[in-house]
Chains A and B, each alone.
Chain A
Amino acid sequence: MRRMLVLGLALAVTILGAGVASAADLTIYAALDKKTIEEIADAFKQATGLTAEIALQIEQAGTIASRIQTEASNPRADIFIGGNTSIHDGVAQSGFLAKYVSPEVARAKIEPKYMDPNGFWSGWYLGALAIPVNEKRFQAELAPKGLKLPATWDDLLNPAYKGEIIGANPATTGGAVIFVATQIFRLGSEEKGFQYIADLHKNVTQYTPGANGSIPLVAQGQAIAGIAWGHDLIRQKKAENLPVAVIFPKDDGYEIGAVSIIKGAPHLSAAQKFVDFILTPKPMEINARNGLRYPVRGGVTMPEGVPPFENLQFVNYDQAKVNANLHAWLERWTQITGK
């Protein structure tokens, strides 16, 4: 046995001693799905000749934002891509991002509302909220009562949905904040918006911690309807053939997906080239095809099965108002739901 131990220890020392050196021209932390970011990195190499290493890929922008913070004493990555603007704002406010405004914004005439007024992040895609409905349970249980698939947010208030809707918790995910804000903007006042939240709460069985928590649960039939990101929903539906209907309701809310440069980035000039590249049609097309996220500029072909952006009806979303009221709204939401 002791010989085994010595052998094991020798092996351990060998493995522990093995170092890691990255030879890539750029290091990326990505809160996007694997396929999308890998294809974007390939396209970046074709366009610029620069190699990009995807050092971290996980579809939890908060986890990446946290790592940028804990690694701030000696930053490793250059680019933080994916995740919505509120996460990028948070990292910027804590002082961990570097300012960069790409010349591509002016050249391609991208609408300024998609860019950070402070210059820390650049919006490059849009994602819309959607309602997944478990088709089998809906047809079996609600269709006989004369219900049609929901087409508006108000349709979810029907008492037939009692205990059958899964929402997300704004205290733990930015996606749910956008949902709450959407109701406020749609109905015109905080009062009416929170009245809607209170009414909907009567039908909600559960608020998940993540924005997409309802997708597997609705697919499995734990509830009939949910609220999730449309692009993730359609992608997952395609990947696993989920038995859910996907509805983009009228007066929909949306997120702006961002890319930003990390402060102290080891490869600053390559990082700036990457941001320039991200704002060109090619990566947006890749993102639209795999992640089904809408581009912020024209001239990008959308894949099949995704409603054209023009067909969706959005609320007039006021990010500044959301930022200013975030704390108060979260408190009010907690008071209403007790969650």
Chain B
Amino acid sequence: MKRLLREPLLLATILTIFAALGLFVIYPVLRVLFYPGLRDFLALPGNERYVTATLHTCVIVILSTSSATAVGFLFAYTFTRTTVPWKGLFRGIAILPLFSPPFMIAFSYILMFGRNGLVTYTLLGTRYNIIGWHGLWLSQTIAFFPIAALVMEGVLQSIAPSLEYAARNLGASGWRLFRTVILPLARPGVAGAALLVAIYVLADFGNPVMIAGHYTVLPTEAWARISGWGDVTGAAVLSSVMLIPAFGLFLAQRYWVGRRQYTTITGKVVLLTPPPTPWYVRWPLFAFCTLVSLLILCVFLGLLAGAFSRGWGFDYTPTLKHWQDVLANGRALINSLVFAAVAATVSSLLAILASYLVSRKTFPGRALLDFVAILPAAIPGVVFGIGYSLAFNAPPLDLYGTAAIIILSLMFWNIPMGYQTGIGRLKQIAPSLGEAASNLGAGSLKTFWDVELPLLKSSLVSAFVVSFIRAVTTLSVIVFLVTNRNAVATFTILNLANDGYRGAAAALTTALLTLTCIVLALSRLLFGRNVELFRI
């Protein structure tokens, strides 16, 4: 504490961060939690629909998390430790699902694998019905395995190939090597990835709303309460229920990944290429990656088919007419990109700063800051949006109808992305560098700005990228905050689909994805080629 007082600037920074998180994370969430009365909560166990939705949610979280983590592991293993052909291509394709906004993955799968699907009916002649829990399982697996793959890629990469060589020299090979060396070393990564995926699955709304049929889950049920009946209370109760497992998962992740440190980065990277992969591993992995990649490409082919054909799902005559609607909605596209860029920039910087303070400084309330910085990840988007709508609608902080309320919500909703990245990266950077600067007379913030920040460049950029993509593609956060004047693209896409212009909705989605990719490519040019864009 005394040291803090000697650095008033540091103290001010810490207080500002606390104030910001308190005002823009804790306060809105509390507003949602206290919106329903106690009686509404007590009525919950008696409501059959709510109970069913809760059970379904638990089941699908277990199923989709397991499969997404397994697929993600195989992909990460393929990228990092094998000589499977085309693995660079597979990695490129595997990133694509991160870009897909709500509705589109699942609708594409109905087009491809539904009763009248291009693959199932036109090609195979069956009237297979994909709608239901199995369809949801498939689309969530595809949607979320990239997250698992990216997390585990980092972990698997840091297992030095020299260990593998050493094990081989000692006589281990094949399955035994994998089981006794690679797998134990990868375990914290697998656990961390699984818990992260579980949180995403828990809060997922876009896939179940389209493809789950009767298989109601908590986010869709909360959404249905709002869009069908205008029942904010019911939605708030359901969302509060969702917070319990979300917290559980997050605490588990902190505990598991935080406590154990299996991989050590010595600073001296041994540049050994991994030993060649035996054919009986290489070709099955190749086949598997090809299959999954095809499933991913299907989604985007479905999307393109919608954007360039006259009737999505029934008339595949090529046309450009939907692109007139895209031009008419250029404003919404620009809003999406600008809002997301601003939110992601501030969010990633704030998050990295917070992670620096938590991992390098001691101050009262450090554990609290750690908790609050990851809290938004556990909060479903629609809760965040309702909270902002309740909290910032009247003076003293009246943000109704401004771009600011949208940007702030996206900014704080994405804090955990940058924060997690920063914490992970700072563990790998020796504190001695900062200490040296400090001994030479630099203050904490100067040390951060001049020493730590340049070292954190890659995590800052990856935090920006993930936050940016999430901000561009979210619908649930902003639906309570937009007005027509500052509508963003996902809102317009929802409106177009509701009004029956599904072709235009597909075209606008295509335009949004293309522009997102262009922005990311530009940021890569700006920040330098050596920055890895997709590292979580």
Instruction: Report A's interface with B, CB cutoff 8 A.
Output: 1-2, 4-5, 8-9, 11-12, 15-20, 22, 33-34, 53-71, 73-74, 76, 87, 90-91, 136-137, 163, 169, 171-174, 205-207, 209-210, 212, 215-217, 219-223, 232, 235-236, 239-243, 334, 339
Contact = CB atoms under 8 A, between A and B. Distances in A.
B224 interface: yes
Contacts of A59: 495, 498-499
B345 A8 contact: yes
Nearest to A170: B228
Contact of B232 (A4, A19, A66, A239): A66
B131 interface: yes
Nearest to A237: B500
Contacts of B116: 137, 220-222
Contact of A70 (B349, B393, B407): B393
20 contacts: A16-B342, A16-B403, A22-B401, A55-B483, A56-B483, A60-B498, A62-B228, A62-B229, A64-B230, A69-B232, A87-B229, A90-B229, A173-B228, A174-B229, A205-B129, A206-B131, A216-B312, A216-B502, A221-B314, A240-B503
Interface stretch (B355-363, B367-375, B449-457): B449-457
A193 B161 CA distance: 71
Contacts of A217: 110
B273 to A, nearest CB: 31
B16 to A, nearest CB: 14
Q: 10 smallest A-B Cβ distances: which pairs?
A: A65-B230, A221-B116, A236-B500, A220-B313, A172-B224, A74-B394, A8-B345, A70-B389, A172-B228, A59-B498
Given A20-B485, A221-B313, A241-B310, A12 B393 contact: no
A34 B310 CA distance: 21
B230 A70 contact: no
B386 to A, nearest CB: 6
A55 B527 contact: no
Contacts of B500: 215, 232, 235-236, 239-240
Given A11-B342, A58-B494, A63-B479, A74 B349 contact: no
B230 A57 contact: no
B226 interface: yes
Nearest to A55: B483
Contacts of B503: 240
Nearest to B344: A8
Given A20-B483, A66-B386, A216-B107, 9 more contacts: A8-B346, A15-B338, A56-B484, A66-B231, A67-B389, A71-B389, A173-B228, A174-B229, A216-B313
A53 B142 CA distance: 42
Contacts of A215: 500
B446 interface: no
Interface residues of B, number: 76
Contacts of A66: 226-227, 230-232, 235, 386, 480
B369 to A, nearest CB: 21
B49 interface: yes
A90 B231 CA distance: 9
A27 to B, nearest CB: 9
Contacts of B229: 62, 65, 87, 90, 172, 174
B230 A87 contact: yes
Nearest to B398: A74
Listed residue (B214, B228, B229, B527) with the most chain A CB atoms within 10 angstroms of its CB: B228
B230 A4 contact: no
B526 interface: yes
Contact of A12 (B115, B121, B345, B400): B345
A216 to B, nearest CB: 6
B377 interface: no
Interface string B436-474: 000000000000010001100100100000000000000
A73 B115 CA distance: 48
Nearest to A241: B311
B125 interface: no
A9 B395 CA distance: 25
A172 B480 CA distance: 19
Given A1-B457, A70-B232, A334 B501 contact: no
Nearest to A57: B484
A207 B214 contact: yes
B389 A222 contact: no
Contacts of B407: 12, 15-16
A67 B480 contact: yes
Contacts of A221: 114-116, 121, 313-314
Given A55-B484, A73-B394, A221-B314, A15 B502 contact: no
A137 B232 CA distance: 40
A239 to B, nearest CB: 5
B237 interface: no
B454 to A, nearest CB: 7
Interface in B363-421: 386, 389-390, 393-395, 398, 400-404, 407-408
Interface string B56-94: 000000000000000000000000000000000000000
